[in-house]
Structure 1
Amino acid sequence: MTKNVLISGAGVAGATLAYWLARNGFKPTVVERSDGVRSSGNPVDVLGPALPVVEAMGVVPRLRDITTSAKRIRLVRADGSRIATMRMPGAGKGFEVPRADLAAVLYATVRDDAEFLFDDTVTELRQDSGGVDVTFDRAAPRRFDLVVGADGLHSTVRRLAFGPERDFVRPVGIFIATTPFGEPVDHPEDVLIHNTPGRLVAIHPARGKGGAAFIFRSAVREFDHRDADQHKRIVTAAYAGAGWRVPELLDRLRASDDVYFDAVSVVDLPSWSRGRITLVGDAASCVSLLGDGSSLAIAGAHTLATALATGGGLAGYETTHRALVMPKQRGVGLAAALLVPKTRLGLAARDLAARVWRGGL
């Protein structure tokens, strides 16, 4: 049986997988590029298939502690007047939490049961029928029975084992940028959203100290996902001339040293495994636009650990989890149309639907 498992990435998927592997008799080692547990502060949902997993991990009380204060979504015009108010989509069904806080909670559950190699990364993978020889940037080379890439959209393990990112990552033409405020917002229970065709800007209350999000359509194709100055220039250009509170929010973004930026993308591989190397979370099947990527990452990590422990193997893991992922991937276009309508007509139709629906308010 596979026993020594290397997990690349200490985020949501990696920490969850390490927890369940350790509890099933495996010896997980987690390598993480940063010098500690890091993730964006974007609010994400823990819903649906993730709920029984986090309940079994005993972290539900901690998730209650870190749940955001957002209860409603308020669509607003450029003058700040209300278009419609809706209940949060997952209200009462789970938890909306900052991704960084979620990653920290999950890490705390497993830090004593797994080996962690921070400030390091995998640089080479060589596998044979018996295992995988792994070369690290800093640590000495080691051999593992299985290697799992839980290292996100821009996965190093996927690149080394499967091929270049361009072969498997399909941008959908939308970018997202976020930055925290570090101070309270005016509406501590409302997510304020202002749209113009092809652009959305939001103020989220988080947990008392809010943040801003920019989600926009763009023809930009080439960017360096590690170049924060470039990211700020792209966002600034995309929102030139926008009204409402956009100039103020852009000032905050440009002054911030904590900016998350990336292209919204779908990861599509014919198989998530090659020999003794496999992928989980966004590295395998990034689909997130509405915050449910973390729920799928938690569920997928648990499914993988269970399959390894019960003999279902990598094929069993993939068959089971793809059934959850595929509907989400097919729904990305609809989610994009709702969040960031391309035209004034599309925006008017979305706003009319929001006034009619209102989520029970």
Structure 2
Amino acid sequence: MITCKSKKVLISGASIAGPTLAFWLAKYGFSVTIVERSASLRLGGQNIDVNGPAQKIAQKMGIEASIRAANTGEVGLQFIGQDNQVTAAFPKEGPVSGTQELEILRGDLVNILYDCTKHDVIYRFGDSINALEQQADHVSVTFSSGKTDTFQFVVAADGVRSSTRRLVFGEEPVFKYLGLYTAYLTIPREQTDNNWWRWYTAVDRRIIMLRPDNQGTMRASVAFLESDEAYEKLSPIEQKLVLKGKLAGAGWEANRIIDALDSSPDVYFDKIGQIKAPRWSDGRVAMIGDAAYCPTPLTGKGTTLAMVGAYLLAGELASHEHYQDAFIAYENRMRPYVEAVQQLPPGVPWLVYPKTKLGVSTLNTVAGIFASKLIQKLVGLFTPTKSKDESKGDEITLPDYA
């Protein structure tokens, strides 16, 4: 195990990966500081899943009950046709469904993780890492606030655009753009809304989704294909203009979302892609979560990778005498799992973004066939002992670290 003299760790990022790592490191006796650029916790965001191995880790952390209590109440996935009719329905309890057992808002999970670490971990909000200098036995850190400190290890857990990663790894990690842009926002709930995740496909390669939350509002998302990374460095006003243009004439709830764009407090707009990094550590600095291996929201496994990577890294640091061996063991355990999760099915995402009305109709028809009682029964017969969470790439051994 890392000796007591080598237990001071700095984590950049207070979302999901960072606090999960902090929880386990503190449990193993490390002195942990989390630095977060935002002035407070960033509590916005859409529905996320805590499933498979992430659920097992939540159980080990003693937070599964809190996650379950904050459930969004989503009952399943519905595909909506051009005339506002339900073309397919996949109930949560069915053998095939996009809705998992533990559906929670991203911000709610962030809050839960903060509550279970705030007494054992130092949080520094409104600050960030400005410079790093690695020495033989420590890392010297200069913060944007002007303060300086030394740590035995630094871990980047600050997302896809990690500034900490860039300081150490430069342009070595690659962002693999998948030809897709997406936007999320919170909109008022209306009487016509329900507790289904509703998926509407429009012509010209556009998708609109509405999902319930546990706060009396709805979480809306808009996604569209774009061959080029055309919307870099837009201002919030410019982003909303792009979204309004993409929503124009889309049908269904498009006009409702257009009307809500200017007043929504949490519009998020970004391109979708994966982070491919040939290594996850350099000297005394390591990476976890989206900073190291973002799988994209298309996989539904971003939260899972964040929590699993954090658990494994902390456990390996606690189990090895030398940190280099711990970093190697972490990567050897984690990389095959990451590669499996990042492997998208052929045709994704283009297959589910048809251009024509015929293509949209075909997609909804196929969804209806898969949602039929006969197909659902056959799926249940052929997968009688397998949880719907245990799809390809969802299985990894979680050691019981001391």
CA shift for structure 1 position 177 = 0.5
In structure 2, C-alpha distance between the alignment counterparts of 1:213 and 1:98, rounded to whole Å:
14
In structure 2, C-alpha distance between the alignment counterparts of 1:116 and 1:37, rounded to whole Å:
10
Q: What is the identity, as a one-letter code, of the residue corresponding to 2:185?
A: T
> Quick check: 1:16 aligned with 2:29?
no
Helix, strand or coil: the match of 1:210?
strand
Alpha-carbon deviations, 1:6-55, whole Å to 9, x = none?
10000000110000000011111000011111043210100011011100
CA contact (8 A) 1:218 1:238 kept: no
Moved more, 136-145 or 216-225: 216-225
CA shift for structure 1 position 283 = 0.4
Q: What is the identity, as a one-letter code, of the residue corresponding to 2:313?
A: L
* CA 1:67–1:61: 2 relative to 1, 3 Å: same
Match 1:192 to one of 198, 201, 205: 198
Q: What is the identity, as a one-letter code, of the residue corresponding to 2:72?
A: T
* CA 1:100–1:332: 2 relative to 1, 3 Å: farther
Partner of 2:117: 110
Alpha-carbon deviations, 1:323-345, whole Å to 9, x = none?
22112211166552465345656
In structure 2, C-alpha distance between the alignment counterparts of 1:25 and 1:129, rounded to whole Å:
22
In structure 2, C-alpha distance between the alignment counterparts of 1:332 and 1:275, rounded to whole Å:
35
CA shift for structure 1 position 256 = 1.7
> Quick check: 1:127 aligned with 2:134?
yes
> Quick check: 1:247 aligned with 2:255?
yes
Alpha-carbon deviations, 1:216-270, whole Å to 9, x = none?
1113425456832232122222223211220121121233231112111100011
Partner of 1:86: 90
Match 2:224 to one of 205, 216, 224: 216
Match 1:324 to one of 324, 337, 358: 337
Query: What TM-score do the two structures reach when normalised by structure 1?
Result: 0.93
Helix, strand or coil: the match of 1:270?
coil
Helix, strand or coil: the match of 1:110?
coil
CA contact (8 A) 1:225 1:262 kept: no
RMSD over aligned CA atoms reads 2.2
In structure 2, C-alpha distance between the alignment counterparts of 1:328 and 1:343, rounded to whole Å:
31
Partner of 1:153: 160
Partner of 1:276: 284
In structure 2, C-alpha distance between the alignment counterparts of 1:226 and 1:316, rounded to whole Å:
41
CA shift for structure 1 position 185 = 5.6
In structure 2, C-alpha distance between the alignment counterparts of 1:181 and 1:45, rounded to whole Å:
21
Could you tell me which runs of 5 or more consecutive residues in structure 1 were left unpaired when the two chains were aligned: none
Match 1:298 to one of 293, 297, 307: 307
* CA 1:158–1:58: 2 relative to 1, 3 Å: same
* CA 1:226–1:38: 2 relative to 1, 3 Å: farther
CA shift for structure 1 position 205 = 1.2
In structure 2, C-alpha distance between the alignment counterparts of 1:313 and 1:343, rounded to whole Å:
52
> Quick check: 1:42 aligned with 2:51?
no
CA contact (8 A) 1:87 1:358 kept: no
* CA 1:342–1:91: 2 relative to 1, 3 Å: closer
* CA 1:342–1:47: 2 relative to 1, 3 Å: farther
Alpha-carbon deviations, 1:126-183, whole Å to 9, x = none?
1122221111011511111111000001101111111148x51111111111111243
Q: Percent identity?
A: 32
Question: Which of 1 and 2 has greater Rg?
Answer: 2
Helix, strand or coil: the match of 1:255?
coil
Partner of 1:336: 349
In structure 2, C-alpha distance between the alignment counterparts of 1:333 and 1:139, rounded to whole Å:
48
Helix, strand or coil: the match of 2:349?
helix
Match 1:354 to one of 361, 364, 367: 367
CA contact (8 A) 2:181 2:272 kept: yes
Could you tell me which runs of 5 or more consecutive residues in structure 2 were left unpaired when the two chains were aligned: 378-402
Query: What TM-score do the two structures reach when normalised by structure 2?
Result: 0.84
CA contact (8 A) 1:153 1:267 kept: yes
Partner of 2:104: 97
Alpha-carbon deviations, 1:103-125, whole Å to 9, x = none?
11111100110111000011111
CA contact (8 A) 1:8 1:148 kept: yes
Aligned residues: 360
Helix, strand or coil: the match of 1:307?
helix
Alignment of 1:197-208 (within 5 A): 197=203, 198-207=205-214, 208=216
CA contact (8 A) 2:181 2:224 kept: yes
In structure 2, C-alpha distance between the alignment counterparts of 1:292 and 1:353, rounded to whole Å:
25
* CA 1:332–1:43: 2 relative to 1, 3 Å: farther
Helix, strand or coil: the match of 2:297?
coil
Q: What is the identity, as a one-letter code, of the residue corresponding to 1:314?
A: F
* CA 1:39–1:156: 2 relative to 1, 3 Å: farther
Q: What is the identity, as a one-letter code, of the residue corresponding to 2:301?
A: D
In structure 1, C-alpha distance between the alignment counterparts of 2:99 and 2:356, rounded to whole Å:
33
Moved more, 82-91 or 264-273: 82-91
Q: What is the identity, as a one-letter code, of the residue corresponding to 1:228?
A: P
In structure 2, C-alpha distance between the alignment counterparts of 1:29 and 1:226, rounded to whole Å:
33
